[in-house]
Structure 1
């Protein structure tokens, strides 16, 4: 089996490094960070923290160098997905491509470029420490399932989930991946921007009753939007938020949106809070908190141009 991970930031690197430890899987890693690519090819891709792994995928910044693949895993920032899949789509002409990006609407971005799209959701998180080295902060599960407008059989998706599980990234193939995806979207949209706006880690954010109340309000709006689509979540985001706040889970983890704000990078707020608000408008479900959070994060982004 040959798998290409498109976008080897923190999450993409977790998949690429772990999968590259399997003898029966050939792994390619595509990323535009040339220093990261060079380091991977020279020294391997090292994970530290929650898991100690050294994988040796084939890394490249040249999309034409990627051979035909059975599966793709797109792990770019949501706003970079269109350009990334447009450049690499030739490698997946006979394969299937899974999104593990944050937010909603990513499968729709991939679909014009590749025939077979997999709806994916992953909870592991980390951060790039230096080229070739990624800190693995949070472990978690991954779910893969059909993209409903052009569904493929679960049995076709299963080999990808099985490979990820054998590599140390617990994954499952399911008939309906929307409950898992909306679980994470609601979790991220309730916590990531709050961390980005306050500068607090996940645990410190949850310690403040005033901020935790806002998080609950965001969760409630997200649940209402999911329910309006007939989606029954596979876990309660509130319980997951409290679990992640434990010292042995993700108390000190800086959300990816906070990492983006600290680096003055554009955030994924349009695909998280903005995405929930967009679905809410289409379904007639009010989402005033998500609208407000989206505006505030956009204001932070605008301040960088001053």
Structure 2
């Protein structure tokens, strides 16, 4: 039986997942993205992966979700700010689908639960960048964790199916009964490194190697872990080990927040550091360092609209 999967948002992550899944003979992959040149290149020539892998896979790509048939499984990989509009446009596609968020930050699953019947909480470590239309560079490997999102859970069998497909496609994936721990592992790490990269212009490795910046990374991690403890969420990874791994395997990687700043696009600061701060308020835990990151990155974003002096 062929499983039909729709990937919404074909930036770096969406493209990596779509391309890998499309290498399987029993999976039909559709992709929806707003970039007409990217979609046209994928439709005409396939989706090319370079870097840590080298292959081209056949993917059906569209700019309009109305042209996509109903799917069994969905993967949402848009920027967090675009979740509602992008998924609402796929109402027919996802009318009877289990849909996974593999997005950054906190709060995306809550939006999905308002729009699709069954939701999968997803956390991923692979990273990359779209280098030209139809081509994605695979920068960093890593595992994926999937689990049912409690308020509107996908069936255990659906979580297991998506996990098995991704694993067979070369992206090792774990199906869990509770995926909150891995989600917070990533949120804690990203919220401690991404804004500092965005503010300094430095990739992950140099941020974590600089003693003064590393002190800020460690302080942001500690503050976020206090929120986790208050919420009763057990993180499963050692933050220091994650930092060491990032220095080794993703030293020169520019996180998505830095890529957004360089392109002068709105960042996901409200879903990363802002998401931790919001959960901290609910739990009664002060988060002054994360509040500061939100204020600084928002201020940087506002500066782009100011007249440039010459």
TM-score by shorter chain over 0.5: yes
Residues in 1 aligned to 2:56 and 2:65: alpha-carbon distance in whole angstroms: 24
- Paired residues of 1:184 and 1:237 also in contact (CA < 8 A): no
1:207 pairs with 206, 209, 212, which one? 209
Please, which moves more after superposition, 139-148 or 150-159? 150-159
State TM-score, norm by structure 1: 0.98
5+ residue gaps, structure 1: none
Q: Does 1:292 align with 2:289?
A: no
Q: Cα distance, 1:234 vs. partner?
A: 1.4
- Paired residues of 1:219 and 1:238 also in contact (CA < 8 A): no
Residues in 2 aligned to 1:243 and 1:15: alpha-carbon distance in whole angstroms: 22
**Partner SS, residue 23 of structure 1:** coil
**Partner SS, residue 128 of structure 2:** strand
Please, which moves more after superposition, 227-236 or 101-110? 227-236
Q: Cα distance, 1:46 vs. partner?
A: 0.6
1:126 pairs with 118, 125, 128, which one? 128
1:177 pairs with 174, 179, 186, which one? 179
Q: Cα distance, 1:152 vs. partner?
A: 3.3
Aligned position for 2:143: 141
Q: Cα distance, 1:243 vs. partner?
A: 1.1
Please, which moves more after superposition, 292-301 or 86-95? 86-95
Q: Cα distance, 1:235 vs. partner?
A: 0.8
Aligned position for 1:53: 55
Q: Does 1:259 align with 2:279?
A: no
- Paired residues of 2:113 and 2:151 also in contact (CA < 8 A): no
**Partner SS, residue 89 of structure 1:** coil
Runs of 4+ displaced beyond 4 Å: none
Deviations 1:262-304 (A, max 9, x none): 0000000000000000000111011110000100000000000
Aligned position for 1:281: 281
Residues in 2 aligned to 1:50 and 1:156: alpha-carbon distance in whole angstroms: 29
Aligned position for 1:9: 11
- Paired residues of 1:18 and 1:53 also in contact (CA < 8 A): no
Q: Does 1:24 align with 2:26?
A: yes
State TM-score, norm by structure 2: 0.97
Residues in 1 aligned to 2:164 and 2:192: alpha-carbon distance in whole angstroms: 31
Number of matched pairs: 304
Q: Cα distance, 1:150 vs. partner?
A: 2.3
Residues in 1 aligned to 2:35 and 2:240: alpha-carbon distance in whole angstroms: 36
Residues in 1 aligned to 2:194 and 2:138: alpha-carbon distance in whole angstroms: 17
Residues in 2 aligned to 1:217 and 1:300: alpha-carbon distance in whole angstroms: 22
Q: Cα distance, 1:51 vs. partner?
A: 1.4
**Partner SS, residue 71 of structure 2:** coil
Q: Does 1:305 align with 2:305?
A: yes
**Partner SS, residue 90 of structure 1:** coil
